[in-house]
Amino acid sequence: MAKKITLFCSAGMSTSLLVNKMREAAKKNGKDYDINAYSLSEADAKGADADVILLGPQVRFALSKMKGLFPNKPVDVIDMRSYGLMDGAAALALAEKHLK
């Protein structure tokens, strides 16, 4: 079963672009992940199934709350540069760091 990488941002819109880039990077490297983006308001419902949770830099303020909601899951913030450049490979590498 594919590992689930879940991204949260303020509305789920811009992060969905990054998700597509992450999927492309994973496919290019022969890796199979279930990668999805949601609005931070959906965290309670969608975060529980994730193997790793990444936050967009615009919602970094929610990092400690998310770590509290999901104490047994890795939670991290995508850096502003990777996010701004829509660098799917860098965001995927961040997620994979937590999957090992």
The active-site residue out of 9, 43, 62, 66 is 9
Rg of the chain on CA atoms, in Å? 12
Active site residue 75: no
Is the sign of the CA dihedral 61, 64, 66, 72 positive or negative? Answer: positive
The structure's pTM equals 0.95
Q: What is the pLDDT along the chain (100 residues), one digit of tens a residue?
A: 899 999 999 986 778 899 999 999 999 999 999 999 999 999 999 999 999 999 999 999 999 999 999 999 999 999 999 999 999 999 999 999 999 7
